[in-house]
Structure 1
Amino acid sequence: MDAFEQFYEQYSSLVFHIALKMMNDRMEAEDICHDVFLEAFRKAEQFDSKRGSLEAWLAVKTRSRCLDRMRRQKRTICEDAWTDMPTAIESITPEERVIRRLDEEHLYEAIQQIPKTQRDTLIGFYYKSQTQQQIAQKMNYPLGTVKSLIRYGIQNIRKHWNGNPLGSASKEERKHE
Protein backbone atom coordinates (compact mmCIF):
# COMPACT_ATOMS: atom_id res chain seq x y z
CA MET A 1 0.00 0.00 0.00
CA ASP A 2 1.47 3.38 -0.99
CA ALA A 3 1.42 6.54 1.13
CA PHE A 4 -1.70 7.97 -0.51
CA GLU A 5 -3.67 4.76 0.04
CA GLN A 6 -2.65 4.66 3.71
CA PHE A 7 -3.54 8.32 4.15
CA TYR A 8 -6.90 7.79 2.47
CA GLU A 9 -7.65 4.61 4.42
CA GLN A 10 -6.93 6.29 7.74
CA TYR A 11 -8.90 9.52 7.25
CA SER A 12 -11.52 8.86 4.57
CA SER A 13 -14.24 8.00 7.09
CA LEU A 14 -13.83 11.36 8.83
CA VAL A 15 -13.87 13.37 5.60
CA PHE A 16 -16.76 11.39 4.13
CA HIS A 17 -18.94 11.78 7.24
CA ILE A 18 -18.38 15.53 7.38
CA ALA A 19 -19.26 15.87 3.69
CA LEU A 20 -22.29 13.59 4.02
CA LYS A 21 -23.58 15.52 7.02
CA MET A 22 -23.20 18.85 5.23
CA MET A 23 -24.36 17.81 1.76
CA ASN A 24 -26.98 15.22 2.72
CA ASP A 25 -26.16 13.39 -0.54
CA ARG A 26 -23.97 10.29 -0.70
CA MET A 27 -22.71 10.90 -4.26
CA GLU A 28 -21.81 14.53 -3.50
CA ALA A 29 -20.08 13.44 -0.30
CA GLU A 30 -18.01 10.87 -2.20
CA ASP A 31 -17.00 13.45 -4.82
CA ILE A 32 -16.02 15.94 -2.14
CA CYS A 33 -14.12 13.26 -0.24
CA HIS A 34 -12.03 12.45 -3.31
CA ASP A 35 -11.46 16.15 -4.06
CA VAL A 36 -10.33 16.85 -0.50
CA PHE A 37 -7.84 13.99 -0.51
CA LEU A 38 -6.37 14.93 -3.86
CA GLU A 39 -5.95 18.51 -2.71
CA ALA A 40 -4.55 17.48 0.68
CA PHE A 41 -2.05 15.10 -0.90
CA ARG A 42 -0.96 17.69 -3.48
CA LYS A 43 -0.69 20.44 -0.87
CA ALA A 44 0.64 18.37 2.01
CA GLU A 45 3.40 20.92 2.62
CA GLN A 46 0.74 23.42 3.78
CA PHE A 47 -0.07 21.26 6.80
CA ASP A 48 1.67 22.51 9.94
CA SER A 49 1.50 20.10 12.87
CA LYS A 50 2.41 22.96 15.21
CA ARG A 51 -0.90 24.65 14.37
CA GLY A 52 -3.04 21.57 14.94
CA SER A 53 -3.92 18.00 14.12
CA LEU A 54 -4.24 16.51 10.67
CA GLU A 55 -7.87 15.62 11.45
CA ALA A 56 -8.75 19.25 12.12
CA TRP A 57 -6.92 20.39 8.96
CA LEU A 58 -8.86 17.86 6.87
CA ALA A 59 -12.13 18.81 8.58
CA VAL A 60 -11.64 22.48 7.70
CA LYS A 61 -10.72 21.58 4.09
CA THR A 62 -13.82 19.39 3.82
CA ARG A 63 -16.08 22.08 5.21
CA SER A 64 -14.68 24.62 2.75
CA ARG A 65 -15.15 22.27 -0.19
CA CYS A 66 -18.76 21.57 0.86
CA LEU A 67 -19.55 25.26 1.16
CA ASP A 68 -18.01 25.93 -2.25
CA ARG A 69 -20.06 23.12 -3.77
CA MET A 70 -23.28 24.38 -2.15
CA ARG A 71 -22.62 27.88 -3.40
CA ARG A 72 -21.94 26.63 -6.92
CA GLN A 73 -25.11 24.50 -6.92
CA LYS A 74 -27.18 27.40 -5.68
CA ARG A 75 -25.81 29.59 -8.44
CA THR A 76 -26.49 26.92 -11.09
CA ILE A 77 -30.06 26.41 -9.93
CA CYS A 78 -30.59 30.16 -9.85
CA GLU A 79 -29.13 30.61 -13.33
CA ASP A 80 -31.32 27.82 -14.69
CA ALA A 81 -34.48 29.25 -13.16
CA TRP A 82 -33.78 32.93 -13.79
CA THR A 83 -31.68 33.17 -16.93
CA ASP A 84 -32.27 36.89 -17.21
CA MET A 85 -31.00 37.70 -13.69
CA PRO A 86 -27.35 38.69 -13.35
CA THR A 87 -25.24 35.95 -11.78
CA ALA A 88 -23.22 38.53 -9.87
CA ILE A 89 -26.01 38.66 -7.28
CA GLU A 90 -25.31 35.07 -6.25
CA SER A 91 -21.51 35.15 -6.45
CA ILE A 92 -19.26 35.63 -3.47
CA THR A 93 -17.19 38.79 -3.34
CA PRO A 94 -13.42 38.72 -2.75
CA GLU A 95 -13.99 40.36 0.63
CA GLU A 96 -16.46 37.64 1.64
CA ARG A 97 -13.98 34.99 0.50
CA VAL A 98 -11.23 36.51 2.67
CA ILE A 99 -13.57 36.77 5.67
CA ARG A 100 -14.65 33.14 5.24
CA ARG A 101 -11.02 31.99 5.03
CA LEU A 102 -10.10 33.95 8.16
CA ASP A 103 -13.10 32.47 9.99
CA GLU A 104 -12.01 28.97 8.99
CA GLU A 105 -8.47 29.60 10.21
CA HIS A 106 -9.79 31.06 13.46
CA LEU A 107 -12.04 28.02 14.01
CA TYR A 108 -9.13 25.68 13.25
CA GLU A 109 -6.96 27.52 15.79
CA ALA A 110 -9.76 27.51 18.37
CA ILE A 111 -10.27 23.77 18.00
CA GLN A 112 -6.54 23.22 18.48
CA GLN A 113 -6.49 25.36 21.65
CA ILE A 114 -9.07 23.38 23.61
CA PRO A 115 -8.02 20.37 25.70
CA LYS A 116 -7.55 17.13 23.76
CA THR A 117 -10.46 15.32 25.46
CA GLN A 118 -12.84 18.14 24.51
CA ARG A 119 -11.42 18.28 20.98
CA ASP A 120 -11.79 14.51 20.54
CA THR A 121 -15.41 14.53 21.71
CA LEU A 122 -16.32 17.48 19.46
CA ILE A 123 -14.66 15.94 16.40
CA GLY A 124 -16.39 12.64 17.10
CA PHE A 125 -19.79 14.24 17.62
CA TYR A 126 -19.84 16.94 14.95
CA TYR A 127 -17.48 15.67 12.27
CA LYS A 128 -17.62 11.89 12.55
CA SER A 129 -21.38 11.86 13.29
CA GLN A 130 -20.90 9.64 16.32
CA THR A 131 -23.54 9.57 19.04
CA GLN A 132 -22.63 10.66 22.54
CA GLN A 133 -23.05 7.04 23.64
CA GLN A 134 -20.60 5.84 20.97
CA ILE A 135 -18.06 8.44 22.06
CA ALA A 136 -18.51 7.43 25.71
CA GLN A 137 -17.85 3.79 24.85
CA LYS A 138 -14.85 4.60 22.67
CA MET A 139 -13.27 6.92 25.26
CA ASN A 140 -14.34 4.75 28.22
CA TYR A 141 -16.10 7.68 29.90
CA PRO A 142 -19.56 7.89 31.46
CA LEU A 143 -22.18 9.45 29.17
CA GLY A 144 -22.52 12.48 31.45
CA THR A 145 -18.80 13.20 31.15
CA VAL A 146 -19.00 13.12 27.35
CA LYS A 147 -21.94 15.56 27.44
CA SER A 148 -19.93 17.86 29.71
CA LEU A 149 -16.84 17.63 27.49
CA ILE A 150 -18.91 18.62 24.46
CA ARG A 151 -20.49 21.53 26.32
CA TYR A 152 -17.15 22.75 27.74
CA GLY A 153 -15.48 22.31 24.36
CA ILE A 154 -18.08 24.54 22.72
CA GLN A 155 -17.75 27.08 25.53
CA ASN A 156 -13.96 27.13 25.14
CA ILE A 157 -14.21 27.58 21.38
CA ARG A 158 -16.59 30.51 21.99
CA LYS A 159 -14.12 32.02 24.47
CA HIS A 160 -11.32 31.71 21.93
CA TRP A 161 -13.56 33.10 19.20
CA ASN A 162 -14.42 36.12 21.34
CA GLY A 163 -10.79 36.75 22.26
CA ASN A 164 -10.90 35.45 25.82
CA PRO A 165 -7.99 33.33 27.01
CA LEU A 166 -8.79 29.66 27.21
CA GLY A 167 -6.81 29.31 30.40
CA SER A 168 -9.50 31.15 32.34
CA ALA A 169 -11.70 28.06 32.72
CA SER A 170 -13.64 27.55 35.92
CA LYS A 171 -12.69 24.87 38.44
CA GLU A 172 -15.55 22.64 37.19
CA GLU A 173 -14.42 23.05 33.57
CA ARG A 174 -10.79 22.24 34.42
CA LYS A 175 -11.91 19.01 36.10
CA HIS A 176 -12.89 17.65 32.64
CA GLU A 177 -9.85 18.83 30.67
Structure 2
Amino acid sequence: MIYLSLLETEEDKKYFKEIYENNYLKMYHVALGILHDKSEAENAVHEAFLSLAEKFQKYSHISGRKMDNFCVSIVKNKAIDSIRRSRHYTEEEIEDLKLYQDDKLVNPENILLSEETKGMIKKALEQISEVFRETLVLKFVYELSNAEIAYIQGVSRKTVVMRIYRGKQMLRKVIHEEDMQ
Protein backbone atom coordinates (compact mmCIF):
# COMPACT_ATOMS: atom_id res chain seq x y z
CA MET A 1 0.00 0.00 0.00
CA ILE A 2 1.40 3.31 -1.10
CA TYR A 3 -0.37 5.02 1.81
CA LEU A 4 2.02 3.44 4.31
CA SER A 5 4.94 5.35 2.84
CA LEU A 6 3.26 8.54 4.10
CA LEU A 7 3.23 7.32 7.69
CA GLU A 8 6.13 7.67 10.08
CA THR A 9 5.91 4.99 12.77
CA GLU A 10 5.32 1.26 12.58
CA GLU A 11 2.45 1.68 15.02
CA ASP A 12 0.77 4.19 12.67
CA LYS A 13 1.30 1.83 9.73
CA LYS A 14 -0.24 -1.08 11.63
CA TYR A 15 -3.26 1.01 12.68
CA PHE A 16 -3.71 2.36 9.14
CA LYS A 17 -3.68 -1.19 7.71
CA GLU A 18 -6.38 -2.13 10.21
CA ILE A 19 -8.49 0.88 9.20
CA TYR A 20 -8.02 0.01 5.53
CA GLU A 21 -9.03 -3.63 5.99
CA ASN A 22 -12.06 -2.74 8.12
CA ASN A 23 -13.38 0.03 5.89
CA TYR A 24 -12.40 -0.54 2.26
CA LEU A 25 -15.52 -2.44 1.17
CA LYS A 26 -17.93 -0.19 3.03
CA MET A 27 -16.28 2.91 1.56
CA TYR A 28 -16.34 1.37 -1.91
CA HIS A 29 -20.07 0.64 -1.69
CA VAL A 30 -20.84 4.16 -0.47
CA ALA A 31 -18.80 5.67 -3.33
CA LEU A 32 -20.41 3.31 -5.86
CA GLY A 33 -23.85 4.32 -4.60
CA ILE A 34 -23.03 7.96 -5.31
CA LEU A 35 -20.98 7.61 -8.50
CA HIS A 36 -22.56 4.54 -10.19
CA ASP A 37 -19.22 3.68 -11.79
CA LYS A 38 -16.81 1.08 -10.43
CA SER A 39 -13.58 2.76 -11.48
CA GLU A 40 -14.73 6.18 -10.24
CA ALA A 41 -15.74 4.57 -6.93
CA GLU A 42 -12.31 2.93 -6.63
CA ASN A 43 -10.66 6.29 -7.34
CA ALA A 44 -12.79 7.99 -4.67
CA VAL A 45 -11.78 5.34 -2.12
CA HIS A 46 -8.13 5.72 -3.11
CA GLU A 47 -8.34 9.50 -2.72
CA ALA A 48 -10.06 9.08 0.66
CA PHE A 49 -7.34 6.79 2.00
CA LEU A 50 -4.64 9.04 0.55
CA SER A 51 -6.20 12.03 2.30
CA LEU A 52 -6.43 10.09 5.56
CA ALA A 53 -2.79 8.98 5.30
CA GLU A 54 -1.59 12.52 4.57
CA LYS A 55 -3.32 13.85 7.71
CA PHE A 56 -3.04 10.71 9.80
CA GLN A 57 -1.37 12.39 12.77
CA LYS A 58 -4.38 14.67 13.07
CA TYR A 59 -6.89 11.80 13.05
CA SER A 60 -4.98 8.85 14.53
CA HIS A 61 -6.63 9.38 17.93
CA ILE A 62 -10.03 8.41 16.48
CA SER A 63 -10.86 4.74 16.85
CA GLY A 64 -13.57 2.15 16.48
CA ARG A 65 -16.90 3.11 15.01
CA LYS A 66 -16.01 6.78 15.03
CA MET A 67 -13.14 6.03 12.66
CA ASP A 68 -15.46 3.90 10.50
CA ASN A 69 -17.94 6.79 10.29
CA PHE A 70 -15.12 9.21 9.59
CA CYS A 71 -13.89 7.06 6.69
CA VAL A 72 -17.40 6.98 5.20
CA SER A 73 -17.63 10.78 5.48
CA ILE A 74 -14.30 11.22 3.71
CA VAL A 75 -15.26 8.93 0.83
CA LYS A 76 -18.67 10.64 0.43
CA ASN A 77 -16.89 13.96 0.05
CA LYS A 78 -14.36 12.52 -2.40
CA ALA A 79 -17.18 11.00 -4.48
CA ILE A 80 -18.99 14.32 -4.61
CA ASP A 81 -15.73 16.05 -5.54
CA SER A 82 -15.34 13.54 -8.36
CA ILE A 83 -18.79 14.44 -9.68
CA ARG A 84 -17.93 18.12 -9.55
CA ARG A 85 -14.65 17.62 -11.40
CA SER A 86 -15.90 15.32 -14.11
CA ARG A 87 -19.30 16.74 -14.84
CA HIS A 88 -18.98 20.39 -13.86
CA TYR A 89 -22.29 20.51 -12.04
CA THR A 90 -23.33 23.54 -10.05
CA GLU A 91 -23.67 23.31 -6.28
CA GLU A 92 -27.47 23.15 -6.61
CA GLU A 93 -27.27 20.33 -9.17
CA ILE A 94 -24.96 18.37 -6.84
CA GLU A 95 -27.56 18.64 -4.07
CA ASP A 96 -30.23 17.41 -6.48
CA LEU A 97 -28.01 14.49 -7.48
CA LYS A 98 -27.46 13.52 -3.86
CA LEU A 99 -31.13 13.73 -2.94
CA TYR A 100 -33.14 12.88 -6.02
CA GLN A 101 -31.24 11.53 -9.02
CA ASP A 102 -30.22 8.08 -7.84
CA ASP A 103 -30.92 5.61 -10.68
CA LYS A 104 -32.69 3.30 -8.24
CA LEU A 105 -35.27 6.01 -7.66
CA VAL A 106 -36.60 6.13 -11.21
CA ASN A 107 -40.05 4.74 -10.66
CA PRO A 108 -43.56 6.09 -11.28
CA GLU A 109 -44.02 7.48 -7.76
CA ASN A 110 -40.82 9.48 -7.86
CA ILE A 111 -41.33 10.66 -11.43
CA LEU A 112 -44.59 12.25 -10.26
CA LEU A 113 -42.77 14.35 -7.69
CA SER A 114 -42.84 17.88 -9.05
CA GLU A 115 -39.89 20.24 -8.85
CA GLU A 116 -41.84 22.19 -6.25
CA THR A 117 -42.24 19.11 -4.07
CA LYS A 118 -38.56 18.26 -4.42
CA GLY A 119 -37.66 21.78 -3.37
CA MET A 120 -39.99 21.57 -0.39
CA ILE A 121 -38.51 18.22 0.70
CA LYS A 122 -34.98 19.52 0.25
CA LYS A 123 -35.77 22.63 2.28
CA ALA A 124 -37.44 20.55 5.00
CA LEU A 125 -34.46 18.17 5.14
CA GLU A 126 -32.14 21.14 5.65
CA GLN A 127 -34.17 22.16 8.70
CA ILE A 128 -33.84 18.90 10.63
CA SER A 129 -30.73 17.81 12.49
CA GLU A 130 -27.92 16.23 10.50
CA VAL A 131 -28.14 12.79 12.12
CA PHE A 132 -31.81 12.41 11.17
CA ARG A 133 -31.28 13.90 7.70
CA GLU A 134 -28.39 11.53 6.99
CA THR A 135 -30.38 8.53 8.20
CA LEU A 136 -33.36 9.43 6.00
CA VAL A 137 -31.18 10.01 2.95
CA LEU A 138 -29.39 6.68 3.44
CA LYS A 139 -32.75 4.91 3.83
CA PHE A 140 -34.86 6.52 1.15
CA VAL A 141 -32.39 7.87 -1.40
CA TYR A 142 -29.71 5.19 -1.30
CA GLU A 143 -32.21 2.50 -0.27
CA LEU A 144 -29.90 0.96 2.29
CA SER A 145 -31.24 -1.54 4.78
CA ASN A 146 -31.48 -0.65 8.46
CA ALA A 147 -28.58 -3.02 9.13
CA GLU A 148 -26.39 -1.25 6.53
CA ILE A 149 -27.28 2.16 7.93
CA ALA A 150 -26.54 0.93 11.46
CA TYR A 151 -23.13 -0.29 10.30
CA ILE A 152 -22.29 2.98 8.50
CA GLN A 153 -23.42 5.15 11.40
CA GLY A 154 -21.98 2.91 14.08
CA VAL A 155 -25.26 2.48 15.95
CA SER A 156 -27.74 -0.33 16.61
CA ARG A 157 -30.59 -1.22 14.24
CA LYS A 158 -33.07 -0.07 16.88
CA THR A 159 -31.41 3.33 16.87
CA VAL A 160 -31.73 3.49 13.08
CA VAL A 161 -35.44 2.58 13.27
CA MET A 162 -35.96 5.30 15.87
CA ARG A 163 -34.02 7.86 13.81
CA ILE A 164 -36.12 7.07 10.75
CA TYR A 165 -39.32 7.38 12.78
CA ARG A 166 -38.27 10.63 14.44
CA GLY A 167 -36.82 12.01 11.21
CA LYS A 168 -40.13 11.43 9.43
CA GLN A 169 -41.96 13.12 12.29
CA MET A 170 -39.62 16.11 12.06
CA LEU A 171 -40.10 16.32 8.29
CA ARG A 172 -43.89 16.17 8.67
CA LYS A 173 -43.76 18.92 11.27
CA VAL A 174 -41.53 21.17 9.14
CA ILE A 175 -43.66 20.61 6.03
CA HIS A 176 -46.86 21.20 7.99
CA GLU A 177 -45.45 24.45 9.39
CA GLU A 178 -44.47 25.52 5.85
CA ASP A 179 -48.01 24.78 4.62
CA MET A 180 -49.49 26.86 7.44
CA GLN A 181 -47.50 29.94 6.40
Provide the TM-score with structure 2 as the length reference: 0.46
Question: Quick check: which one's helix share is greater?
Answer: 2
